[in-house]
Amino acid sequence: MVEWTDFERATIKDIFSKIDYASVGQQALARCLVVYPWTQRYFGNFGNLYNAAAILGNPNVAAHGLTVMRGLEKAVKDLDNIKSTYAELTVKDLDNIKSTYAELSVLHSEKLHVDPDNFRLLADCITIVTASTLGASFSAEMQAALQKFLAVVVSALGKQYQ
């Protein structure tokens, strides 16, 4: 069994230490709401989501983007407990990380009724915004590590649906 490499652990921690949660969270959530407009239906109480400029300027979007990034930080802190391979992620890693996201998974499924396909869409927006924030220093290996990490989170958030 290949474990997460030291490079991956260090890279994920490094990425999260370099990015501004408020900025990346706001931009990623806004991008998700623009690119995948059906995701707006879950945020009916957020006010004006009329167009891309309104979404980017919406303070509720900004606040919630930050909340999502703080949610991700919990998993960054859990990284040292994640042991298995990417191929085995859905089987093994969830045992370690699922408790971190158990409550959030219940909230998103049973209370908010968020379609779990949307988790990956938001995760992809986080990758894109991180890439544009870090620019040329965001190497392919860094992207691979970040996407592996986000895949674990997405699986854990979807746990309640399985």
Binding site for ligand HEM (CB under 6 A): 39, 42-43, 64, 67-68, 71-72, 104, 107-108, 112, 114, 118-119, 122-123, 153, 157
- How open is the CA angle 73-113-20, to the nearest 5 degrees? 25
Closer to ligand HEM by Cβ: residue 3 or 37:
37
Tokens matching residue 30: 């806004």
Closer to ligand HEM by Cβ: residue 1 or 111:
111
Cβ at position 68, least distance to ligand HEM in Å: 4
Burial of 22 (0-12, 13-18, 19+ CB in 10 A): middle
Closer to ligand HEM by Cβ: residue 67 or 139:
67
Cβ at position 54, least distance to ligand HEM in Å: 17
Q: Which residue is nearest to ligand HEM (CB)?
A: 71
Q: Find where tokens 């806004």 sit.
A: 30
Q: At what angle do helices 21-35 and 117-134 cross, to 10 degrees?
A: 130
Rg for the chain, CA atoms, rounded: 16
